[in-house]
Chain A
Amino acid sequence: MNLARREVLKLGVTGAALATLPIGTLFPARSAHAAYPENAFKEKEVTKALQDLFGTDQTASGDVKIKAPDIAENGAVVPITVSTGMSGVESITILVEKNPSPLAAHFELSPRTDGYVSTRIKMGKTSPVIAVVKANGKLYSASKTVKVTIGGCGG
């Protein structure tokens, strides 16, 4: 008798708990995000990668800060931080001009995400590192040359 009551109560509690969850949890809305930019990652030139990503390679100078070492001891692990104080930031893109394929990373940010990303990239040799920020539909970019003593792309 006691065992059966416990089972029934358990079922009831689970049911009640499920009912109180916001409907979104059970049927999560899969908000679409852009497809992986396969072609952009294969491009051998910065301008072409930008064309693939944004439909244009024209960028303006603006509030885009790149924090990166002046000299990277190890080209396989170069810490890069891109930040901006602008509002309406939609994406941040990092390119390494002299890498075999310049596009290194592209970040799509939600309206409540700051214009700030920090990551580590590979650099084959000394090269400008270019950061492109898309804010309010416009592209802004900045560049910083990072010297590389030991390349990080491979043999």
Chain B
Amino acid sequence: MAKNTIKVRAKIKGGKCIVKTLIKHPMETGLRKDKKTGKKIPAHYIKEVICEHNGEKVCVANWGVAVSKNPYLSFRFSGASKGDQIKISWVDNKGDSDSKTATIS
């Protein structure tokens, strides 16, 4: 399991919870060539990101290789309060994963 790859900020503003998350991940397309060996660097990308509020999925992202390296994601939802928990988890095409829980401020 990967560790400490997720940064997340969740804030209540105007009655909504605004979530911004940044994940550290190479998001390799599989099209790039290693300059030294000339061989293609294998695709390595996050496939799914699950965002949960109090255990309920509020956003599920399906990503392909076209999402940028160190992907950024922001979304908004209602029905949250300051102090609630938000959890971001990801799984990539190699089966690696990580997750992070943060408190909504």
Interface residues of B (CB under 8 A from A): 16, 29, 31-33, 47-48, 50, 55-69, 71-79
Asked if B75 contacts A104 (CB within 8 A), the reply is: no
The 5 closest A-B pairs by CB, nearest first: A154-B31, A104-B66, A120-B68, A118-B74, A41-B64
Identify B67's interface contact among A24, A28, A33, A104, CB under 8 A: A104
Question: Do A122 and B67 contact each other (CB < 8 Å), given the known contacts A36-B62, A116-B75?
Answer: yes
Number of interface residues of A (CB under 8 A): 42
Q: Decide if B58 touches A113 in the complex (CB within 8 Å).
A: yes
B60 touches A120 (CB 8 A): no
- 15 A-B pairs whose Cβ atoms sit less than 8 Å apart in the complex: A33-B50, A41-B62, A41-B65, A76-B68, A105-B62, A107-B60, A110-B57, A114-B78, A117-B61, A121-B67, A122-B65, A153-B31, A153-B66, A154-B31, A155-B33
Known: A104-B64, A117-B61. 16 other contacts (CB 8 A): A33-B60, A36-B47, A76-B69, A101-B66, A105-B67, A112-B79, A113-B58, A113-B75, A113-B77, A114-B75, A116-B75, A118-B74, A119-B73, A120-B68, A121-B66, A153-B29
